Structure 1
């Protein structure tokens, strides 16, 4: 079963593809977007729910969303049309590591896509290349809430040093030349809500479409994911979204 289809189905009831509640999404966006005319760039946007909500709340803002999944971008376009912001959202299908834009963004969003750039530090470097000097980066990354065990590492498919605890993650960000101006660490409740929606949405689709050739696979994927969460990384893996600004900016020319 195609991974893009799995992801699209699994996020049907939780289009924010991260363990963050609606209230905290709104707070993070309000902290990141400084002006109504801000230009946003959403790297690895998926269904572009962050951008759609940002544009809905900030009438003059515009956004570009970049993702490899045509299915997710189709969903994003439909969501943008439903709330009347499609004219301010441009969707680009492609590799976020290769995307180039002529204009710098006032806000770059990269939530849960640091793996595409090869980790935290390369993501910060890539984001800086897209930002205005005094721009804002809304960055969502994985952390360890406690030392990962073998079961967690097997589910995530990463070495133990792929992520760090919150304090070390912040330290690395600061050493790379960024200053956090706000942040939100996902709660256990947010994680549980996200995982129940992920596994439940996929399972419901399979049960509602029993004759579909992918139904059995979807149900199995849902069960495997649920088992990996409950018996593996629940309470071990964490997620944090930062609002970041560069500590030093280029001098004004002129």
Structure 2
């Protein structure tokens, strides 16, 4: 329900999503693979925009899969979109992908470079990777860094993040740094849709927790990482 008003689970707007997909999909019959697809919104958008592509999304949770499948069927693209519930680390595709997406899902592999290594394993020759990840817009205070880097994934500034990707054997052919407006739209949608659901269902046993979660997330964003945490989406090709 947190993505009800913003199906793309990242701080990028609709025009940016379309532009990134158009840049990545270089052939009319491309096969796409999304590692850590969430509800599968990127692939659903791709299938709508490009009538010849096929797409597979993999995520450890199948939350939202039924809704995406129903929408894909309604749009007439359900036969070209497959959603698989599985740990992305363990997933082995039966075919190589022309485009591999990993948007905000590097944590599932532990960190950024392992996510790129996984993308490379699944990528066809001369394929394209669309990678989205966070970086520090400015140096965070120690408490915020500890809060947002409480697992194996650590963030760097934008130049360092891009340099790590390049040193790993990738060439950026396009990139998009999310604007503050895109972040605000995403965060207000995330917290707002959850709060609206709680207010619309006051008798539901989870409504109180949902309202509290929305408030806590909103506070963490507004009084913590707003303007400090950035998000970059890179369109990458392997460096020869």
The answer to whether structure 1 residue 223 and structure 2 residue 215 are counterparts is: yes
> In 2, Cα distance between the equivalents of 1:211 and 1:161?
38
Contact 1:37 1:61 in 2 (8 A): yes
Q: CA deviation at 1:159?
A: 7.5
Q: CA deviation at 1:244?
A: 0.3
The answer to whether structure 1 residue 73 and structure 2 residue 65 are counterparts is: yes
Question: Which of 227, 237, 240 pairs up with 1:235?
Answer: 227
The runs of 5 or more residues in structure 1 that have no matched partner are: 1-8, 249-254
> In 2, Cα distance between the equivalents of 1:202 and 1:146?
29
Greater CA drift, 80-89 or 24-33? 80-89
Contact 1:153 1:159 in 2 (8 A): no
> In 2, Cα distance between the equivalents of 1:146 and 1:73?
36
> In 2, Cα distance between the equivalents of 1:168 and 1:23?
27
> In 2, Cα distance between the equivalents of 1:210 and 1:177?
52
Q: Normalising by structure 2, what TM-score?
A: 0.97
Greater CA drift, 221-230 or 164-173? 164-173
2:170 paired residue number: 178
Closer, same or farther: CA 160–69 of 1 in aligned 2, 3 Å? closer
Structure 1 stretches of 4+ moved >6 Å: none
1:108 paired residue number: 100
The answer to whether structure 1 residue 141 and structure 2 residue 129 are counterparts is: no
1:47 paired residue number: 39
RMSD: 1.4
Q: Normalising by structure 1, what TM-score?
A: 0.92
Q: CA deviation at 1:104?
A: 0.4
> In 1, Cα distance between the equivalents of 2:152 and 2:37?
27
